[in-house]
């Protein structure tokens, strides 16, 4: 009876170590940790560090802090879709460069993200269905990452420095517009005006 209690206690303890609504499983021989629809408001800390596939989709996570996934060196797939992510700190994906091959950030609240956020990541990234601001920063980001197949059409200008771009797919817009050059030109003009002001 005592042994049964001890066994029951250890089972309860190991289950309690995981956040509510999260559970480990094995899929196609890969260690998977699912936290889909678990009402999470942050990335859980107690994820087994031998996890290969991590599903954190359909939660209310608002931002990703630095080193959010540092203890998951074997992670191959990371699904963060359908959250409320509006901000990603530099270094959030630190430690994932070696193995990660799929990163889903679709259907979040991303407006602008620095290209350095994904530096050294080799993963295919899905950035579709976010309220993007179409500018030089987004142009640099798109050039720095490898987009997941069939996801590029879902990167649409929710806002832009030029009103006619709103509602258009970003890749369609940058076929005709170089945001970084436009920005450079405007700063050059501003400098010329300032210099002319000095001379005057």
Residue pLDDT, tens place only, 93-103: 999 988 999 99
Percent of the chain with pLDDT over 70: 82
Q: How far apart are CA 37 and CA 16, in angstroms?
A: 18
- Residue 10: what pLDDT? 39
Cβ–Cβ contacts within 10 Å for residue 97, how many? Answer: 13
> Residue 174 half-sphere exposure, CB side, CA atoms within 13 Å?
23
Q: How far apart are CA 49 and CA 72, in angstroms?
A: 5
Q: Where are the domains of the chain?
A: 23-194
Q: Using CA atoms in the order 37, 40, 44, 50, what is the torsion angle rounded to 10 degrees?
A: 10
83-94 average pLDDT score:
96
Q: At residue 40, what are phi and psi to the nearest 5 degrees?
A: -75, 145
- Residue 119: what pLDDT? 86
> Which residue, 143, 141, 173, 142, is CA-closest to 158?
173
- Residue 161: what pLDDT? 82
143-168 average pLDDT score:
94
> Which residue, 119, 123, 37, is CA-closest to 77?
123
pLDDT of 194 higher than 70 = no
Cβ–Cβ contacts within 10 Å for residue 140, how many? Answer: 16
Q: How far apart are CA 121 and CA 178, in angstroms?
A: 25
- Residue 162: what pLDDT? 87
> Which residue, 153, 157, 152, 167, is CA-closest to 137?
157
Q: How far apart are CA 200 and CA 197, in angstroms?
A: 5
User: Which DSSP letter does residue 20 get?
Assistant: T
pLDDT of 8 higher than 70 = no
pLDDT of 186 higher than 90 = no
Q: How far apart are CA 169 and CA 160, in angstroms?
A: 12
Determine the distance from the C-alpha atom of residue 95 to the mean position of all C-alpha atoms in its chain, rounded to a whole number. Answer: 15
pLDDT in tens, 107-155: 999 999 999 999 889 999 999 999 999 999 999 999 999 999 999 999 9
pLDDT of 2 higher than 50 = no
The structure tokens listed for 122 are 């080799």
pLDDT of 175 higher than 50 = yes
Per-residue confidence band for 3, with pLDDT thresholds at 50, 70 and 90: very low
**Which CATH number describes the domain made up of 23-194?**
3.80.10.10
The structure tokens listed for 41 are 């408001």
- Residue 198: what pLDDT? 52
Q: How far apart are CA 105 and CA 125, in angstroms?
A: 7
pLDDT of 14 higher than 80 = no
Where is pLDDT greater, at 194 or 113? 113
pLDDT of 106 higher than 70 = yes
């Amino acid at each position: 009876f005592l042994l049964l209690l001890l066994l029951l206690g250890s089972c309860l303890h190991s289950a309690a170590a995981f956040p509510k609504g999260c559970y480990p499983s094995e899929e196609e021989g890969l260690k998977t940790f699912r936290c889909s629809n678990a009402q999470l408001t942050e990335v859980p800390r107690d994820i087994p560090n031998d996890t290969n596939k991590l599903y954190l989709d359909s939660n209310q996570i608002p931002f990703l802090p630095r080193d959010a996934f540092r203890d998951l060196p074997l992670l191959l797939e990371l699904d963060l879709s359908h959250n409320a992510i509006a901000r990603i700190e530099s270094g959030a994906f630190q430690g994932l460069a070696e193995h990660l091959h799929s990163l889903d950030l679709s259907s979040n609240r991303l407006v602008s993200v620095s290209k350095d956020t994904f530096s050294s990541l080799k993963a295919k990234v899905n950035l579709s269905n976010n309220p993007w601001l179409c500018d030089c920063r987004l142009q640099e980001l798109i050039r720095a990452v490898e987009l997941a197949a069939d996801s590029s059409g879902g990167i649409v200008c929710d806002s832009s420095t030029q009103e006619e771009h709103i509602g258009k797919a970003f890749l369609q817009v940058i076929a005709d517009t170089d945001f970084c050059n436009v920005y450079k030109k405007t700063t050059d003009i501003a400098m010329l005006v300032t210099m002319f002001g000095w001379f005057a």
